Amino acid sequence: MSLTMLCCFKNCFNGLGFSVQHIPRPEVNNPIVLDTSHMGHEVVIIKNGLRICGSGGALCTAPLVQSKSYFEVKLQQSGAWGVGLATHGADLNAAPGGRDTESWVLCHDGTQRHNNTELDRVPNNAVEGDLLGVSFDHIELNFYVNGKPMERPITGIRGTVYPALFVDEGAILDIIVDNFQHPPPSGFDRIMLEQSLL
């Protein structure tokens, strides 16, 4: 029996003289991740809750309650994708989002969608490898590509909203909730957790 085979069975032989190494789980500095209890049926969330692939959408674990929130999304692999905001009532099985009254997204084809309607179309949309910034101040939802504003705000957003990422056709997205690669717009900051006043 080769050493490789013994390594594969090391957990079976624990306590028989073979040592078992435990690999420590990396510390998660920010508890805001993609929420496995609010995701589509065919969505896969990996990398400690920061990467989405598969088919459908997922919300983050924290709503945008502060007056000026910012987050980034790395477009790891192209395909059909949507990035924006949604409520808990959004259809997370319908990529790329924006197909109902509960989601507002920028899509891979440059369209901004809400309620299955094209609100606007952005020139020079993000492509594979780009970094998409998202800011929200409860009046406007704005998008940035590699730090440059797209200057096509979405307004009229209502309800308790969460960052929302949608993928299909092989798209892979990573959400970045701190340690941004581009500075947030003036006055904006990373997503803050709601604090109890008790």
Please say if the pLDDT value at position 25 is more than 90.
no
Q: Per residue, what are the HEC states of 33-62?
A: CEEEEEECCEEEEECCCCEEEEEEEEEECC
| CA distances (Å), origin 14, targets 5, 20, 25, 181, 187 | 15, 7, 20, 44, 55
Question: What's the pLDDT tens digit per position in 63-107?
Answer: 999 999 999 999 999 999 999 999 999 999 999 999 999 999 999
Q: Which domain, by its residues, includes 126? A: 31-190
Distance of CA 114 to the CA centre of its chain: 18
Which CATH number belongs to the domain containing residue 58 in this structure? Answer: 2.60.120.920
Q: What is the mean pLDDT of residues 29-54?
A: 94
Look at residue 11 and tell me if it is in a domain: no
If phi > 0 it is left, if psi is from -120 to 50 it is alpha, else beta; for residue 179 that is left
Look at residue 12 and tell me if it is in a domain: no
Please say if the pLDDT value at position 181 is more than 60.
yes
Look at residue 196 and tell me if it is in a domain: no
CA-based torsion, 183, 90, 88, 139: positive or negative: positive
| 44 band by pLDDT with thresholds 50, 70 and 90 | very high
Look at residue 169 and tell me if it is in a domain: yes
pTM: 0.83
Side chain identity at 186, as an amino acid letter? S
Look at residue 195 and tell me if it is in a domain: no
* Count of structural domains within the chain: 1
Side chain identity at 91, as an amino acid letter? D
Please say if the pLDDT value at position 15 is more than 50.
no
Please say if the pLDDT value at position 8 is more than 60.
no
